[in-house]
Structures are given as structure tokens and as C-alpha cells.
Amino acid sequence: MTNFTLRPALETESRAIKDLIHSVGINPMGVDWKRFVVVVNAQDQVIGIGQLKPHGKEILELASIAVYPEFRGQGIARAIIEHLLKDSPRPLYLMCESVNGALYEKFGFREIPYGEMPRYFQRISKLAGVVSTLARRDERLLIMKLQ
């Protein structure tokens, strides 16, 4: 079990945040270190991240939840999610691969149908559907909402 500390990101950790995002293969768009919380280990290395990402004035997304594989299974992602949800306004949206949907359901998120999605998420959902079809992937993108 790793001892860890969760705190707001520092500007000097911007590169570490981007490296983790690229390492785990999640969306690198809209990465601004000021919105991130980081989890650091005893050596002060960034081992997990997450953010609340705005889309205009009305839409907020729980995004960029990532933990290096060697540190998974220790409650780090849960700590990040709980911290970000604690004072966040509702509704709150998120996008994830369908394999991760059950994780977010534990926090109260529910998949929403296309017609209930804000336009931003409708566009992303359509694009993801095309990409999945072309790549012949069984995985699909979920758009989820927490009231």
C-alpha cells in the first residue's frame, strides 16, 4: 500500500499531468494544470490526477481521472473522484469507456440517452460512435450525468 497525498496541482507539475494523460491514453484536450488535483507519493511524484473541466458556462465535466498502473487498486482514483465531487455543482457530466461505467455508477452517475445530452456531448458521442464502428471495437463511449 502506497502512502499518498491529494492536493491541488502546481504549475511545475504541468508536464507530469500531460505525461500521465498520454501514458493512459485519455483525451488530452483542455489540459490546464490549474483545474487539476494530483495525488503524489512519499517521493512527491505525481501518481494520479483528475479535474473538473468546464464546457462553457453551464456544463462541467468530471474528467482526466488517471492513475499509473503500478499504483492502481489502492483507492487513489476513488480519493480523487470523492474529492472532486465533494463541492462540485450539479449536474455534473462525464465521458468514459463503457467498461468503466460501473465504477462511476458507484458515485451516482447514470448513463444518459442522446436526447438528454448537452450539444457538446452529443457531438462527441456521434464522433465516438463512428470511430468505434470503423475500428470494429466492442467498447463504446458512455456519457453519464450526476444530478
Domain shared by 65 and 99, yes or no: no
* pLDDT tens per residue, range 6-21: 999 999 999 999 999 9
Higher-confidence residue of 28 and 1: namely: 28
Domain shared by 82 and 94, yes or no: no
Res. 133: pLDDT tops 70: no
Q: What is the pTM of this model?
A: 0.91
Cell numbers standing for residue 78: 476513488
Cell numbers standing for residue 130: 463512428
Domain shared by 79 and 8, yes or no: yes
Burial label, 23 (beta-carbon count in 10 A; 0-12, 13-18, 19+): exposed
Domain shared by 96 and 107, yes or no: yes
Domain shared by 84 and 22, yes or no: yes
The string of DSSP letters for the chain reads ---EEEEE--GGGHHHHHHHHHHHT---TT--GGGEEEEEETT--EEEEEEEEEETTTEEEEEEEEE-GGGTTSSHHHHHHHHHHHT--SSEEEEEEGGGHHHHHTTT-EE--GGGS-HHHHHHHHHHHHHHHHHT-S--EEEEEE-
* The pLDDT of residue 61: 96
* pLDDT tens per residue, range 88-129: 999 999 999 899 999 999 999 999 999 999 999 999 888 877
Contact 48, 71 (CB under 8 A): yes
d(CA 76, CA 83): 11
Domain shared by 81 and 94, yes or no: no
